Amino acid sequence: MKVKNEQGEEIEVFTEAEMQEKSKTVAEEAAKKAIEDFKAANPDKTAELTDLQAKLKKAEDDIVAASGGNAEQNQAPPRIP
């Protein structure tokens, strides 16, 4: 809504409800932007992690196969405190 101030200039005024709604909208937009910025700076590594886990599993299987099926014989003895 527009009203005239003391100098006769027409200015726009808002109700409390309109201000709260605008504030909520601005906050939501800022949160979305922050999430997008975070995602851009920290790309998803799921595919890379899955690949590394598969390579680790294969390496572990190769160790078991090379040790004649007993992977524990290639491990260091437990430490005694």
Between CA 44 and CA 36 the distance in angstroms is 12
Ordered by start, the domain boundaries in the chain are: 2-74
The two structure tokens encoding residue 78: 């437990």
pLDDT of residue 23: 94
pLDDT at 55: 96
**pLDDT recorded at residue 47:** 92
Q: What is the pLDDT along the chain (81 residues), one digit of tens a residue?
A: 899 999 999 999 999 999 999 999 999 999 999 999 999 999 999 999 999 999 999 999 999 888 876 655 556 666 776
- CA proximity to 65, closest of 28, 57, 11: 57
Contact 61, 53 (CB under 8 A): no
